[in-house]
Amino acid sequence: MIVGLTGSIGSGKSTVAALLAQKGAVIVDTDVIAREVVEPPSPVLDAIRDAFGPEVLLPDGRLDRAALARLVFEDEARRARLNELTHPAILKRVLSIIGSQPPEVVVVAVVPLLFESGFERNCDCVVAVTAPPDVRRARLQERDGLTASQIAARMRAQLPDEEYRVRADIVIENDSTLTALGREVDRAWEAVLARRDRAQPSGPGPRPEAPTPSRSGTPPPAADR
C-alpha cells in the first residue's frame, strides 16, 4: 500500500513520518532523495548551475540550498524551472524504491508538493498534516531561523491548509503537544490499515511505474519541510 504524506511547511510532516515508521511503515522521504540526486557529480546539479548560475554552488561544488531557495521562493517562474530540472530524477528514484517493496508493506512517501506535482495518482491513500499558520511560523523561526519575509514567501508558495483538508483522505491536526500528535497518528494509522485490509480481498494492486516528467513530480531540492 502506498500512502502519500503531505502538508504545508512547518506542519510537522517529518515528525509524523517518524511516528509512522515506529508503527512499521517504510518511509520514502523525497527531501532526502532530492538531496541525493544533486550530490556531485550529478547531471541534475550541472543543469541547476547552468540555469541559475554558479552562485547557487558552495565553494566545494555542492548545491547551496539556501542560496537556491532565496532565488526560487520569490519567483514562480524560477520555481517552475527548478521543478522541470529536478522532478524526473527524483520521481524515478522514488518510484524505484516504492516498487521494490513487498505489496503488503505500507510505504509512506513524504511529498511536500504532492498535490501540486500530481503525485497523488501514485497513492492508494493521502494523509495531510495541518497546523495553524501562527504555529507554523513559530516552528519555522525556531527550527530554521527564517525571517518573517522568508517564511511568508515559503508559505505563499504552497497550498492553504483548507485545500489539504479537502483533498486528503486522512487529516492529522498538529496544533498541540507531541502526545496529542501521537494520538492523531494512532487514529490515522488505524484508518490506513483499515483501507489496506478492505483492499486485500481483491489482491494488491500493481506498483506504480514512472510516468512522463510532464505528468507527475516531486519537490525540488530547495523545498522546505
Nearest-10 crossing angle of helices 65-72, 76-99:
130
Residue 218, pLDDT > 60, answer no
Q: Per residue in 91-134, pLDDT tens?
A: 899 989 999 999 889 999 999 989 988 999 999 999 999 999 99
pTM of the model as a whole? 0.82
Residue 193, pLDDT > 90, answer yes
Task: Return the amino acid letter for 160.
Answer: P
CB of 189 within 8 A of CB of 27?
no
CB neighbours (10 Å) of residue 154? Answer: 22
What 8-state DSSP symbol labels residue 126?
E
More confident call, 67 vs 221 = 67
| Res 157: pLDDT | 81
Per the rule left: phi > 0, alpha: psi between -120 and 50, beta: everything else, 50 is alpha
| Res 52: pLDDT | 96
CB of 141 within 8 A of CB of 153?
no
Question: Which residues of 116-211 form beta strands (DSSP E)?
Answer: 125-130, 170-173
- C-alpha–C-alpha distance, residues 72 and 50, integer Å: 15
- C-alpha–C-alpha distance, residues 88 and 24, integer Å: 29
Confidence of residue 149 (pLDDT cuts 50, 70, 90): confident
- C-alpha–C-alpha distance, residues 157 and 46, integer Å: 25
